[in-house]
Amino acid sequence: MYLTLLNGTGFVFNVDDYMELRSKYHIMGAPVGTANTKGWSPNQSTLPVELSKFETQLLLDNNIAKLVNKSKDLKAKPTVEKLEKCKADFESRLLGQEEALKTEKLRETERYMDKILSGKRKKLLKQGKNEMAAALTANDVLLEMSSNFRFDRQNALVEVPCEHPTDHSAQIVTGPIVNTTSLKYRVFKDLWKRGKYVTSGDAFGADFLVYPGDPMIYHASHIVIVHETPVIKPLELIAKVRLSVIVNKSCVFAYEIANDEEIHYQTVAWCNPGK
């Protein structure tokens, strides 16, 4: 599996790759493509999927995917052969749209054939063409429609492929894209190893959100605050725990102790003695 390096992180352009990452490896990412629908909203985003830097680094560390840089090849000036092939492919796609639209028009004509025949016959009768009206058949209508069909290329759909449509080269990115020794990355990696679905917690004032299952089905159950030491100021503790109450999630502090590489977790709950 290959991730494309863009803006310092990995992007997924293949739908099968993304479904494998999501279902098998619990990697969520964020779809950032624009859906071809009216009234588009961010909840309707599609491919490509932008992975966080932590997600990208995690996939590299576990040899699940490779990160590639395609900028050199895709920014290079195309050869005459590539340009001609691109034009031919584009022409082929336009012809495909034309044939598909014509087929649909014929199918629609057949669906309303009785009404169309009745209308055409009435028109011929008003013109005094009784014999033509009597001889008119469904095949005549379909033949007329087929011969008069015109495809206006100005109204053609512009295809925006998720994956690059032609073969191209890329360079493997070997270096890490985040500090793999940082506590925040190690917490993310540890939670992932425990089988959790982990996403960014920025929107909730936390470092991470933890889900009991796929976020398409489940709400986040915990917010995770990464703390460099096991010592926390009372006001900061109150603020974070109150925040977790407001968003209806459990608050977890992740920290490490000096001379101990193990990550420790502490769940803190808000208790209201008056209730």
Per-residue pLDDT tens digits for 100-153 = 999 999 999 999 999 999 999 999 999 999 999 999 999 999 999 999 999 998
Label residue 263 by pLDDT band (50, 70, 90): very high
Residue 166 three-state SS:
coil
Active-site residues, by number, are: 211, 219, 249
Per-residue pLDDT tens over the stretch 72-111: 887 888 889 988 988 998 899 899 999 999 999 999 999 9
Q: Quote the pLDDT of residue 259.
A: 83
Residue 145 three-state SS:
helix
- Omega into 230 within 30° of 0, i.e. cis? no
Residues with Cβ < 8 Å from 64, sequence gap 6 or more? 1, 21, 25, 58
Residue 6 three-state SS:
strand
Which strands form 9-12's sheet, in the order they lie side by side? 30-33, 46-50, 9-12, 2-6, 66-69, 171-172
- Asked whether the beta carbons of 40 and 104 are under 8 A apart, the reply is no
Mean pLDDT, all residues of the chain: 89
Q: Which domains does the chain have, with CATH numbers?
A: 80-155 (no CATH), 179-274 (3.40.1350.10)
Cα–Cα dist 46/34, whole Å = 6
pLDDT over 90 at 162, yes or no = no
Q: What is the mean pLDDT of residues 161-183?
A: 85
208 phi, psi to nearest 5 deg: -140, 155
Q: What is the mean pLDDT of residues 161-174?
A: 79
